[in-house]
Amino acid sequence: VRPIVAVDWGTSSLRGAWLDGHGEVRDERSFPRGILSVETDGFAGVFEDAFGDWTRDTGLALVSGMAGSRQGWVEAPYCSCPCGLAEMAASLAWAEPDRVAIVPGVACDREGTPDVMRGEETQVLGALDLLGLQDALLVLPGTHSKWVRAAAGRIEGFGTFMTGEVYGLLRRQSILARGMPDHEPALDEEAFARGLWQARHSASFLQSAFSARTLGLFGRLEPEALPSYLSGLAIGDELRAQGTTLAPEVVVVGDPQLVRRYAIALAAWGVRSVRSVGSEAAWRGLWKIAGAR
């Protein structure tokens, strides 16, 4: 098996790894060149500057993420759920013939309402392989959190929550910001847990969010504690919304800071087992898709 260059090209960052013939990471690079920073006709040049030297050795580069969106390098149509390695490998969009291929995003449909992801599908397939799982409930926290059901090694369906983005807007630009410090304090686990509890006993985040104002107003939470409390409200609302579909085991795919918050939250909801995977999920996913061609 030949080595490949694995690339995760998202909205705000560009990361790549040199994977050897066993899929092991030999080198990594990252650049502040997310697709929003690239001109329409500038993708090939940015890619060449970042990974051109590597691809002369590997031959093949496989790219996941927003580089496959309409605003990206080459639009890669969505695969429809259920789909797995085989479907994704069969739907690659070639940005450069025989050299650079873009992995399709995945779309699903819930009673006529579409949902989409780009990049997370690759992480999901990588995480399943890394953990030796075929069936799982996974969460990929972030600006737009994805909750994904996998069965028989394929993505069955998923839902997107605008948790990170709404948190950021409320924390920085709403009336709630007035009671909070400008800097980002470390996680206050007690305040975070209180936010989780409140979310669990609230029917709507639009309502529970206002308690981040009143608890500050009445001096029941210090300004330093309020960002953690609001984070608990937002993540807790995601968990509340899972209802009875929340599984006894959940896989969290993300950076350690977010994984920690979700592990606390899932434990509060009685989830018995939380397993986590970090940035290696994307590399493993790309490796498996390359192997499925």
Closer to a copy of itself by CB, 13 or 242: give it.
242
Identify the residue among 96, 165, 224, 249 touching a copy of itself (CB under 8 A): 165
**Of 52, 15, 20, 60, the residue nearest 34 (C-alpha):** 15
Residue 265: CB minimum distance to a copy of itself, A: 14
For the four alpha carbons of 158, 193, 133 and 11, in that order, the dihedral sign comes to positive
Can you tell me the distance from the alpha carbon of 169 to that of 209, in angstroms, rounded to the nearest whole number?
Answer: 12
Residue 118: CB minimum distance to a copy of itself, A: 11
Which tokens hold the place of 86? Answer: 């085989």
Closer to a copy of itself by CB, 45 or 114: give it.
114
Identify the residue among 174, 264, 274, 292 touching a copy of itself (CB under 8 A): 174
**Of residues 220-239, those binding a copy of itself (CB under 8 A):** 220, 234, 237-238
Binding mask 32-61 for a copy of itself (x = CB under 8 A): ------------------------------
Q: Report how far Cα 177 is from the mean position of its chain's Cα atoms.
A: 26
3-state secondary structure of 184: coil
Residue 144 lies near a copy of itself (rule: CB under 8 A): yes
Helices (H), the chain: 43-58, 85-90, 120-131, 163-173, 189-200, 205-208, 211-217, 226-242, 256-268, 280-291
Q: Which residues form the interface with a copy of itself (CB under 8 A)?
A: 111, 113-116, 144, 159-163, 165-166, 169-170, 173-175, 198, 201-207, 209-211, 214-215, 217-218, 220, 234, 237-238, 240-243
